[in-house]
Structure formats: structure tokens, C-alpha cells
Amino acid sequence: MPPEQTFTPPSEIDARIQGLQASLQQEGVDGALIVQNTDLFYFSGTIQQAHLYVPAEGPPLLMVRKSLERAQDESPLVNILPLPSPKKLPDIIDEHGLKPPAVLGMELDVLPANNYFAYRKIFPQSDIRDISVQIRTLRAVKSPYELDLIRQAAAFSDQIAGLMPNLLQPGMTEIELAGLVEAQARRLGHQGIARMRLFGAEMFYGHLMAGPSAAVPSFLASPTGGASVSPAVAQGAGFRKIQRNEPILLDYVFAWQGYISDHARIFSIGRLPRMLVEAHAHMLDVQEHVKKMATPGTTTGDLYEAAVEMAQEKGLAANFMGAGDDRIRFIGHGVGLEVDEFPFLAKGQKTKLQEGMTIALEPKMIFPGKGVVGIENTHVVTPAGLRQLTRAEEQIVTV
């Protein structure tokens, strides 16, 4: 029996809309107009060419250009209407007995400037304000329903890591191995697309590279980059043949029913130099330390500093989370419907952890000319610290 699609239950959508409305009321925003794919899915259960209007009080309106029928099939919302043109938005809001929003919240972190100008013309009386931080803050804490899906994604990640030793052959190119791993992921139901929110950030499964290729930096806010197949993508697997005695990094997300699990494991054909083995072991120690510290109420910036301090004590700081000027100043990030969710375990961050946040913690060492070692797991914040959801073997797997 193949698996089936999961439709977001009505109670889940209700709770999310209520959360958004509480936030709108607190901020003095009269209504939110949601247009970005991920947020549309989160608040309505469907992704269409659509505008979701959520008044600070009262039922939301999902106004759809294409496909109305699909929106009606997938979304548990009650008011799902056709939208012939965005110019009709104020009229439809009015026809539903809602007053025009004096303050209109939008996702100005992702909405293109030209689109913003167009909405200013459509809502000339409204003060359009960014509500992306409110939305991202809300989304950072996962419901039991969401945690269940992330747990399923994590179990698929573990399966993929478990299959690696069977797929790996010396002399195959990174990209060939990537294709075999990805085919297994698709068979299990990987949705393909893994969304990132930050402008310019993009990812295709993640990073699968070996030896020196893995240590090539990229534009991404990530410790790893990858030589890749082309400067046009500039990250991920490339044409280099995998050799014996070099670390092979599998750092892939599994995207399942919208939700992402992020994990990294190290493999090798034959033994690795002692220096890399020791650095890997130390990253496991950093992970254990941060897991214990990361209880609700802990400041995310403090977790970053604790990890850097541990790397410094071992004399590893110069290669921790990147080398030279390409070092990045974080050790983990939220995951959920997007790869780069709140919170960021990063330098100077003041956000405090909350129970139910899901975090990809990724202490890694980057050695130019040699390769990458370290670990990444997806965890949920609990009163006892981080509970790890991805559970495949964490030691370097030698085949």
C-alpha cells in the first residue's frame, strides 16, 4: 500500500487562525493578507493562487484565482470564494461585513516590492505593515499534529541514512550517488521541494559531497557548500569521483507532507585520518552539551556561545562552522514547513526557547582540502532539553 496525502484537520487550522488573530490584536493590526505559499498552506491547508484574508476578529476569507476547486477540496476553511482579480479584494472584504483594514498586515519579508506597490494601490486607505516576524514566531512552536509529521519525516531520514552503505561505491561521482539516494527518498514519498524563506536562499535536497569538494564554501548561510555541478547552482553534489579514505557527507532534508527533517551523517570507504575522526567525535560532544542546555527559557545566542567555547577549548575554533572568512555564526536553526525557520541558534540572538520548537542542530568542522565532519539532527525542545528525532548511527560509518 503506498502512503496517502495528509490533509490538515479543521481543528489545526482553527488553532492557527486563532493564534494569528491574537497576535494581530496585540499589534493593532486590523487584518492580515496572506499570499506566500508556505503561509497559505499553514493557515488554510491549501496552496493555490490565492489570498487569505484574516481579520483580527471573525472568520477568514480564502479568495482563489486558481484552482478554486482544489482549494475547496483541500482546505477546511468555510469561506472559500473565487477571486477574479486582486483589485476585487476590498469589495469582497466589504461584502462579507468586514470593515476596511486601517492597518493591513502582509508578509513583507518575501513579498516583492512591485507586488507591494500594487497592494498599496488596491488598499489606498490602509497602512501596510510587515507581520512576517509574528507569523514566523507563531509557526516556530509546533502542535502535536505537526510534531507527528516531523517525526515521520525524521524516520524517513533515518531510512535514507541506513541505505547509504548499500548505494556507495568507490569511483562513482557525487552526483551519481546523489541521484540514487534521491530516488530512494522519492520512493518513500519525499515531496521534492524544500522551501527556504530568506531572499536568495535555495536548496535541492541538501549537500552530498566527499572529501575536498564538501569543504568548498557557498553563498548559502550554511557551514557547507559544495563544488557542485556548475557555478550556476554553486552548492551540493558535483562531478568529482568519490575516493577511499575521505569523509562523505550526507546532509539532506526529508520533506514529508510539507514538513522537513534535517540531518547529516558521515560515511567513508576505508578509514579516515585520525584528525578527522577526533574532530567528528568532538562535534558529537558539542551536540550532547547543547542538547542538555537547550531547555525552555534558554537564550538561543547562549547556546551558540557554548558551542563555540567547546570548539575553542579543543583548538578547533578556526574550522568550526566554516573556515576563515566563510565561517558562519550559528549552530542550528528551526525547521518545519521551511528549512530556515525560527529560532536561530546564532550569535547575539535573544530569542528564548519554547517547548515544541523544532531545531536542526548542526555542529560541523570544515577542513579545506580535506573535507567535512560533524553531525546534524532534528530535535524538539522539551523540559528535559532537546529530544532527538533523527536517530541513525552517529559514528562515522565505514563501508
**Which amino acid belongs to residue 60?**
P
Helices 10-27 and 37-44 sit at what angle, rounded to 10 degrees? 110
Tell me if 145 contacts its own copies by CB under 8 A.
no
Joined grid coordinates for residue 189: 514519498
Residue 284 interacting with its own copies (CB under 8 A): no
In 3D space, the residue among 157, 194, 189 whose CA is nearest the CA of residue 390 turns out to be: 157
Cβ nearer to its own copies, comparing 6 with 245:
6
Interface with its own copies, residue 234, by CB under 8 A: yes
Residue selected from 66, 87, 99, 387 as contacting its own copies according to rule CB under 8 A: 66
State the minimum distance, in angstroms, from the CB of residue 54 to its own copies. Answer: 18
Please give the residues from 327 up to 386 whose contact with its own copies meets the rule CB under 8 A.
337
Residue 192 interacting with its own copies (CB under 8 A): yes
Distance CA 167, CA 182 (A): 11
- E strand segments, 285-374: 330-334, 341-346, 358-361, 364-367, 371-374
Backbone angles phi, psi at 219, to 5 degrees: -70, -20
C-beta closer to its own copies: residue 13 or 361: 13
Gap between the terminal Cα atoms of the chain = 32
Binding map of its own copies across residues 243-272, x = CB under 8 A, - = no contact: -------------xxxx-------------
114 binds its own copies (CB under 8 A): yes
Residue 170: CB atoms within 10 A of its CB come to 12
Judged by CB under 8 A, does residue 124 bind its own copies?
Answer: no
Under rule CB under 8 A, which residues in 78-107 are in contact with its own copies? 82, 106
**Sole binder of its own copies in the list 12, 27, 176, 305 (CB under 8 A):** 176
Taking the least distance from each CB to its own copies, the nearer of 187 and 350 is: 187
Which member of 143, 191, 243, 354 binds its own copies (CB under 8 A)?
191
Is residue 29 part of the contact set for its own copies (CB under 8 A)? no
Helix, strand or coil, per DSSP, at residue 52: strand
Q: Does 326 bind its own copies (CB under 8 A)?
A: yes
Do residues 24 and 56 make contact, with C-beta atoms less than 8 angstroms apart?
yes
Q: Which is nearer to its own copies, 85 or 114 (CB)?
A: 114
Q: 137: closest CA among 24, 60, 49, 33?
A: 24
User: Partners of 130 in the beta sheet?
Assistant: 106
User: Does residue number 35 form part of the binding site for its own copies (CB under 8 A)?
Assistant: yes
Kindly state whether residue 148 participates in binding its own copies, applying the rule CB under 8 A: no
Q: Which is nearer to its own copies, 50 or 141 (CB)?
A: 50
Q: What is the CA radius of gyration of the chain?
A: 22
Nearer of residues 110 and 284 to its own copies, judged by Cβ: 110
210 class by beta-carbon count within 10 Å (0-12 exposed, 13-18 middle, 19+ buried): buried
Q: In angstroms, give the least distance from the CB of 64 to its own copies.
A: 9
Q: Quick check: 50 binds its own copies (CB under 8 A)? A: yes
Q: In sequence order, which residues have a C-beta less than 8 Å from that of residue 64 and are 6 or more positions away?
A: 48, 49, 50, 71, 80, 81, 82, 83
Smallest distance from its own copies to CB 249, Å: 16
- 200 is a contact residue toward its own copies (CB under 8 A): yes
Residue 205 binding its own copies, by CB under 8 A: yes
